[in-house]
Structure 1
Amino acid sequence: MVRERTLGRAHIIGIHGLANKPPRDEKAGWWQAAIREGLDRNRGMHVPEGRLRFTFVYWADLRYPQPLTDDSNREPYRPDYGLGPFPSPAGDPESAAPTLTDRIYRGLSHLQEAAGLTPVDDLILEYRLDDLWGYYTDAGFRAAARARLRAVIAEAAGDDVLIAAHSMGGLIAYDVLRAAEADGTALPRCALVTLGSPLALAELKLKLADEHGALRVPAALTAWTNLMDRQDIATVGDDLAEIYAPNAAGVRVRDVPVINAYRRPDGTENRHKSYGYLRTPEFSTVLNGFLGAGG
């Protein structure tokens, strides 16, 4: 049983990633269920429903007029019902190595950056990561999404904060933290875990550098853990520690390969899905340490 002091000041802020989502409360509940399932399976840490202090930043309604219904949601959260920890590269070292696609993209990425042209990324963003494309073509959407996360972080002043940012949520988190730093807005010190982050894409690096300057760990961060499944197309490119320099306090990105074991109800895999990342042993280990420090 989790002791009360362990959860005292610990505040988890989740922000979702690409594509339309189920209604806000349902999505937030599924995130918490996946987190608790991972802690239970991977760490033997039982956290009763409602005991995590969790705030969910939902922005899908800024892009989609209606949330996904049960009939249209191909990828709901479903408990795994297995025994023991979820799979990890610790038991499958080959899964931690860059894939052929990853190695090819790294070479193309460097060429794109040198030329200042990103045709490969344009295809990925427009056809595979459409909301990322929309984020940079719709200033109103971009500002509104940032404002939602920024308000939640500001309200967490006095707490020990961990931001769990899936996919495009990691881009929004980086933008919010760097922009607040630039305009002098005080934010609480916090840890960041990026899950399936696209922050190594050449086009995003160019846009981030254009807005925020040299790429580095935001000043407000006490830790940044980047969890990536090597089979997840969103994570192609150099590891983030090679791209984002340490902040003034010496905080570096820690890149951690994982195995995203999420399966759709029809049995097919999605190595990018948030629930799979939230149930990995590596995320549970980070969260276990955070909850222990939050007492």
Structure 2
Amino acid sequence: MERPSVIVGIHGLANKPPVDEKTRWWRDAIAEGLARNEGVDGVAFTFAFVYWADLRYETPLASDDLAEPYRPQATSDPLPAEEDAPRLTGQDVLATLYAGIDRIEALTGVTLVDDVILEHRFDDLWHYHGERAFAAEVRTRLSERLAAFRDHRILLVAHSMGSVIAYDVLRQLERDAPDLRVDHLITVGSPLGLAKVKMKIASEFGATRVPNNLKHWTNLADGNDIATVTGTLAEDYAPSDTGVAIADHRVVNDYRRPTGEANHHKSYGYLRTPEFSRIASGFLETGAVGRRR
């Protein structure tokens, strides 16, 4: 008998709306992408969300005051795909510059540039690396959720700092629960290419490589997303022992705030990209569980 499928999501840095609302918005963004990009309406899928903002923030963001809520795309036009992504952005120039900085930081062990980036732009990640108790609690939430679905086919979706947490948990599970497998990891807006992050991984787990409990790893990055300043991840993470390598894709994150201002890092925009929808549709076998237009 084929195992049931589940999509497990984990959010990124900063405070969030209440868990129920954040969970619903992630699910809605995924469903919107499936309908728009794959022509699948009313798709039914099991979705589990790993929420950890409450471990850092006493009170969730009030729904009425949110600057960046989830809203479906206003138009019915097709969402921009990888082939629509600009070939050269200001971010690409920064990535080229950062590549040289990355090599220097890796050789010297001095990460002044990364320290500034993490402390002032990725404050939660800074604390994750510095506060062991906090890191342990966050990791436990994800590892327990994955263990609860160990008899399922798992599509793990990790946004921003959530991708660092997901990577660390997968490497832990290699050791602690080697029979637990994740069918596909999708990282979106990931800072896993930062030298400081890679050095932390190397100090705890050894070589930076694809975890051996993964069957597939796809990395989606918008060229204007500051978190992906390092560019692709495949050059930074060697294939797993079984030859699984990272598939990098340049995508278009179309999210805009209610004011009209773009945020190329926002999770909802990534979750409705055609590239994400294609993977989710194939994983869920939506021809059997949804209605194609």
- TM range, smaller chain: over 0.9
Shift of 1:145: 0.4
Compute the displacement of 1:84 (Å). 3.4
**Equivalents in 2 of 1:198, 1:92: separation in Å?**
20
- C-alpha distance in structure 2 between counterparts of 1:121 and 1:138, whole Å: 18
> What SS does structure 1 have at the residue aligned with 2:264?
coil
Deviation at 1:62? 0.3
Gaps of 5+ in 2: 289-293
- The equivalent of 2:291 in structure 1 is none
1:220 to 210, 213, 227: 213
Q: CA RMSD in A?
A: 2.0
Matched, 1:201 2:202: no
1:242 partner SS: coil
Q: Indicate the SS of the match to 1:264.
A: coil
- Three-state SS of the structure 2 residue aligned to 1:243 is coil
Q: 2:24 aligns with which of 20, 24, 29?
A: 29
- Residue in structure 2 matching 1:116, options 99, 109, 116: 109
> Secondary structure, in 3 states, of the residue corresponding to 2:216?
strand
Letter matched to residue 152 of structure 1 = R
Q: Judge conservation of contact 2:9–2:50 (CA < 8 Å) in 1.
A: yes
- Which secondary structure does the structure 2 equivalent of 1:248 belong to? coil
Contact 1:224 1:253 in 2 (8 A): yes
SS at match of 2:41: coil
Q: Hey, what does 1:47 align to over in structure 2?
A: 42
For 2:273 and 2:286, how far apart are their aligned partners in 1? Answer: 20
TM-score (norm 2): 0.93
Whole-angstrom distance in 1 between the partners of 2:206 and 2:181: 22
C-alpha distance 181-29 of structure 1, shift in aligned 2 (>3 A): same
CA displacement 1:194-214 (0-9 Å, x = unmatched): 000000000000000000000
Q: Which residue in 2 is equivalent to 1:270?
A: 263
Q: Which amino acid in 1 is paired with 2:251? A: V
- Partner Cα separation in structure 1 for residue 95 and residue 204 of structure 2: 26
Q: What pairs up with 1:139-218 in 2 under 5 angstroms?
A: 139-218=132-211
Please give the residue correspondences for 1:52-131 in structure 2 after superposition, counting only pairs within 5 Å: 52-94=45-87, 99-131=92-124
For the pair 1:290 / 2:283, whether they are aligned, the reply is: yes
Identity %: 50
Q: CA contact under 8 A between 1:158 and 1:188: conserved in structure 2?
A: no
Q: Residue 12 of structure 1 aligns with which residue?
A: 7
What CA distance in whole angstroms lies between the structure 2 residues aligned with 1:95 and 1:278? 23
- Given residue 194 of structure 1, which amino acid in structure 2 is its aligned partner? T
Number of paired residues?
288
For 2:38, the aligned partner's letter is: R
Q: Give a deviation string over 1:168-209, Cα, whole Å, max 9, x none.
A: 111111100101112345313321000000000000000000
Query: Which sections of structure 1, spanning at least 5 residues, go unmatched?
Result: none
